[in-house]
Amino acid sequence: MNGEPSGERELPQQQEIALGTCWRCGKEVDLGRAQCPYCTAGLLREARPALAKPTARDPDAAALTRMLVVFGGLLAVSLICGFAAQGIVSSDLGSDDSIDREAAGLLAVFEGIDTVFVLAALAWVPVRFRHPRRSLGQRAGAWTGFVLVMAGLVALNLRYHQSLRDLIDFVSLEEQISTAGDRLAVWFLIICVQPAIVEELFFRYLVLGVLRSVVNVHAAVWISAVMFGLAHLGAPLSIPILVLLGVGLGYARTASGGILLPMFLHFLHNGAIWGIHAGWVGML
Amino acid sequence: MSGDFSSFGNPSSDPQGAAPRGLIPAGGPSSLGSLTQSARLKQLNTARWILLAIGVLSVVVNVAVFFTIESEVDTIIQRDLNALRMRGMAADPAEVAKFRESTVRVAKLLQAGFIFVSGLFIVFGLTVKKYPVPITVTALVLYLGVNAITGVLDPSSVPRGIIVKIIIIVALVASVQSALAYQREKARPARQAGLPAD
């Protein structure tokens, strides 16, 4: 084993096993073995540095892991909110007005917690992907086109929930809440403003940005849309249509290159649905 | 000095120059990378079997639950009616029948959704090696989401099997990381593994 290799000794070109040299005795061994068959030195222990996942130094992997941790945290917050909401519904509060007041307070608190979560996530999770800049014409086209797409999604949403209503006597949140003067502003913030800003910052800026670093645009849009749908734990039957809404908003984000368009569309969508249920906008 | 690196084509005679020590494979640095890739592939295989196991078990359990929904709803309604009777009250039979029908439909709809998602896990298990990163990320997201939805619908289900759920989540997170590393390595052209040059 000392000196130059003999000319007759040909090492195989293609190896099913990784041949190498034992670090202790210097003999040729199969590195896939746990121990050197000659001197019993541990081989896989030495191999461990080579097999170490490079993800500790991979910034995209770190960002993805952090993003998923934040998503898990948001789900946990929604879970606790769901328990609290069930407590309100099942408690003997008396009038519908009292229940409405309690529900508004509860949702305001939990949306506040979600907002803090998302702001912390924006500071903690690095978004390295930069969406390509769009020309003025492309942005104008995106804004025009996706407003029309959103109109279609609103119609689809209404049709979907009408079908649910026909099938199972489904009642959505927008149909239950009161538009009484003193709580109108609170519900407006809860239903239209907070989701449009905070949810878009999380799902279409942070999640989509992190995913774009590791997968292509279509996979990133659909995965972020599934996350968006699943985050609405309080309305599990609405998740399919919410996923489609998330897809539309995701493609709006990539088509426009900015976050303003999906924010505006989300605001429009929630406002339209609420307005229709409240009777302010003519029913279809 | 043991370990004759020169016999493997490494022009450097300095045993300290090689990293990792004593592990210069005969095929050169690229087979060191293959060793790492095969380790990641093993991790993806583990993910595959986890996804298939989750999918198959969930499909079986959810289909079984689907067919017992009506009897479960009847049991719950009967329990509530008994409670009302104990308080000297009675329920309108027509309203009870309407409530029962609506509840059974909602439960069946939700259960159908769970069966669909369970089927997705089987598909994920079969396709994880083709699209490792999107599949592992989606599987993890769906697993977290479905468990959260189940927790909202039935709070007593949250602590049930919590150890197993945590193990599955940790395994899926590890799969995501391995998938990322595997994808990066697969996309990268063959490179030197840091051996000193001539």
Q: Do A168 and B105 touch (CB under 8 A)?
A: yes
Mutate to test the interface with A, among B69, B106, B137, B140 (most CBs of A within 10 A): B137
- What pLDDT does residue B3 have? 37
Domain map (residue ranges) of chain B: 46-185
Q: Which residue has the higher pLDDT, A254 or A106?
A: A254
Q: Return the HEC string of chain A.
A: CCCCCCCCCCCCCCCCCCEEECCCCCCEEECCCCECCCCCCECHHHHHHHHCCHHHHCHHHHHHHHHHHHHHHHHHHHHHHHHHHHHHHHCCCCCHHHHHHHHHHHHHHHHHHHHHHHHHHHHHCCCCCCCCCCCHHHHHHHHHHHHHHHHHHHHHHHHHHHHHHHHHCCCCHHHHCCCCHHHHHHHHHHHHHHHHHHHHHHHHHHHHHHHHCCCCHHHHHHHHHHHHHHCCCCCHHHHHHHHHHHHHHHHHHHHHCCCHHHHHHHHHHHHHHHHHHHCCCCCC
pTM exceeding the 0.90 threshold for the entire prediction: no
Distance between CA atoms of residues A280 and B144, nearest Å:
38
Residues 18 through 37 of chain A touching chain B, CB cutoff 8 Å: 18-26, 28, 31-32
- Enumerate the residues of chain A whose CB falls inside 8 A of the CB of residue B137: 64, 68, 211, 214-215, 223
For the segment B100-131, what is each residue's pLDDT rounded down to a tens digit? 888 898 889 889 999 999 999 999 999 998 99
For the segment A229-278, what is each residue's pLDDT rounded down to a tens digit? 999 988 888 999 999 999 999 999 999 999 999 999 999 999 999 888 87
